[in-house]
Amino acid sequence: MRLAVLKERRAGETRVAATPETAKKLATLGCHVAVEAGAGLASGFTDAAYAEAGAEICTDAAATLFGAGVVLKVRAPLGAGEGEVDELALMHRGALLVGTLEAGANPGRAEAYAAMGLEACAMELLPRTTRAQSMDILSSQANLAGYRAVIEAAGAFDRGFPMLMTAAGTIPAANVFIMGAGVAGLQAIATGRRLGGRVSATDVRPAAKEEIKSLGASFVGYEDEESKNAQTAGGYAKQLSADFYAKQADVVAAHIAKQDIVVTTALVQGRKAPTLVTQAMVDSMKPGSVIVDIAADAGGNCAATRPGELFITPNGVKILGYTNWPGRICAAASALYARNLLTFITTFWDKEAQAPKLPEGDDIVQGVTLTRAGAVIHPSLTATKAA
Ligand code: NAD
């Protein structure tokens, strides 16, 4: 079975879907691994390292994809008119495509996969179950994003995180506030604490409160009857009422005015990120304060965020609104992402057929499969179409 690993061509993407470590393991499994030249360079993995791991290095996308039954990607392959190469058109009918395909937000993408006869698996739709944990790209990438956000906040902050006692006087510890305590937020809390900051955090899910406290941060937030049911069966935050958000904002506003660092990570699945930091809150912050908006990819949690940019407000607040936070720590992000995909392929590897076989009744397979045998089959996409 030939397995192709392409160079990522979408703007700003620095990660790669297989590393020399996983390429070696895929080869041991029985794959002939074909890697496009330069695919891992942005993440620090050379062609020589892939070759040493047993991979074939191919000059371009066409040569890499030629005859490939499996294609591993970080982001969705480029389609017609999306860039220099129409990667999709180069894929083979019936090939298994695995990546972060974001078909829900990109109408027409799943239909294109179906038209190409691909078995397309969107790994961001993986169920958050214990069995799926080691394939969970959202968790692995969010964890690193949370870490990186705090490190970049520390770099942008012109004071320091820990209390510094010197003969020349004392510098107080930084007040660090983490908004959203999911995977990214919990790692941000841990990182902020390790650096010596005075850390507080908020979330709407009741379970998050205990997690925040167990990491040694203080909880700041608004709770009522509505927030007792703020979590979906899948563990995600629900969209809450305008009244709840207004009350939450009242509680948070006074706190934010005293913060040096605010890291926002709040997401509501399938929707634009909620605005948690209003313009008035930004205006209330001291000059030199830093806001890091990890939710910038989903529109941002801060009203003043300019997605993709570092913006300094007229009152001197630095807002780091960069997108693709995992891509800002790409060697580690690629290593974990590649292991997530390796686990997926290994879990569904059929030894006799020497190929991955995805059982239709499996909950993981049902969770991620967008298209099969020329049709769009994922319930989230077929339901949208029917509505
Ligand atoms: P996410 O990225 O969807 O959202 C980040 C956080 O933002 C969440 O904690 C959410 O509650 C919070 N949020 C949303 N609206 C908010 C608001 N108005 N104010 C403050 N915070 C707000 O979340 P995630 O990191 O993907 O985690 C989602 C859930 O999945 C969690 O319960 C997590 O424990 C769970 N999880 C389970 C597994 C597993 O069991 N395999 C793996 C990973 C995550």
Give me the mean pLDDT over the 270-274 stretch: 86
Q: Which of 193, 236, 245, 366 is catalytic?
A: 236
Q: Give the confidence band of 385 by pLDDT, cuts at 50, 70, 90.
A: low
% of the chain beyond a pLDDT of 90: 89
- Strand-pairing partners, residue 120, are 97, 371
- Regarding the beta carbon of 311 and ligand 1, being less than 6 Å apart is answered no
pLDDT of 110? 97
Catalytic residue among 9, 10, 128, 193: 128
Prediction pTM value: 0.95
pLDDT value, residue 386: 55
pLDDT for the residue 237: 87
How far is the centre of ligand 1, averaged over its atoms, from the C-alpha of 107 (Å)?
A: 25
Nearest to 33 by CA among 5, 74, 73: 5
CA of 351 to the centre of ligand 1 (A): 36
Nearest ligand 1 atom to the CA of 230 is 11
For ligand 1, mutation pick of 186, 189, 205 (most atoms within 8 Å of CB): 205
Residue owning the nearest CA to atom 23 of ligand 1: 182
- Residue 132 burial (CB count, 10 A): 20
Q: Is 128 a catalytic residue?
A: yes
281-303 confidence digits (pLDDT tens): 999 999 999 999 999 999 999 99
- What is the number of the ligand 1 atom nearest to the C-alpha of 245? 18
Q: Which of 100, 128, 200 to mutate to test the pocket of ligand 1 (most atoms within 8 A of CB)?
A: 128
Q: Is 106 touching ligand 1 by the criterion CB < 6 Å?
A: no
List pLDDT tens digits, range 11-55: 999 999 999 999 999 999 999 999 999 999 999 999 999 999 999
Atom of ligand 1 nearest to the CA of 130: 41
pLDDT digit string, tens, across residues 275-284: 999 999 999 9
- Most informative mutation of 177, 224, 265 for ligand 1 (most atoms within 8 A of CB): 265
Mean pLDDT over each residue of the chain, to the nearest integer = 95
Supply the pLDDT for residue 384.
59
- CB 310 within 8 Å of CB 302: no
Q: What residue's CA is closest to ligand 1, atom 11? A: 237
Q: Check pocket membership of 269 for ligand 1, CB cut-off 6 A.
A: yes
Q: Cα(161) to centroid of ligand 1, in Å?
A: 26
pLDDT at 243: 92
Residue 34 CA to residue 55 CA, distance in Å, equals 6
Q: How many CA atoms lie within 13 A of 21 on its CB side?
A: 14
Active site residue 136: yes
* Band of pLDDT at residue 270, cut at 50, 70 and 90: confident
Nearest CA to ligand 1 atom 3: 267
Q: Which amino acid, 64?
A: T
Q: What pLDDT shows up at residue 233?
A: 81
Mean pLDDT of 253-277: 93
Q: Considering only 88-92, 190-194, 220-224, which range has the smallest mean pLDDT?
A: 220-224
What confidence tens digit (pLDDT) does each residue in 209-259 have?
999 999 999 999 998 999 888 888 878 888 889 999 899 999 999 999 999
Residue 83 has pLDDT above 80, yes or no: yes
The CA distance from 32 to 186, in Å, is 39
| Distance, CA of 184 to CA of 208 (rounded, Å) | 12
State which ligand 1 atom lies nearest to the alpha carbon of 184.
25
Residue nearest to atom 27 of ligand 1 (CA): 182
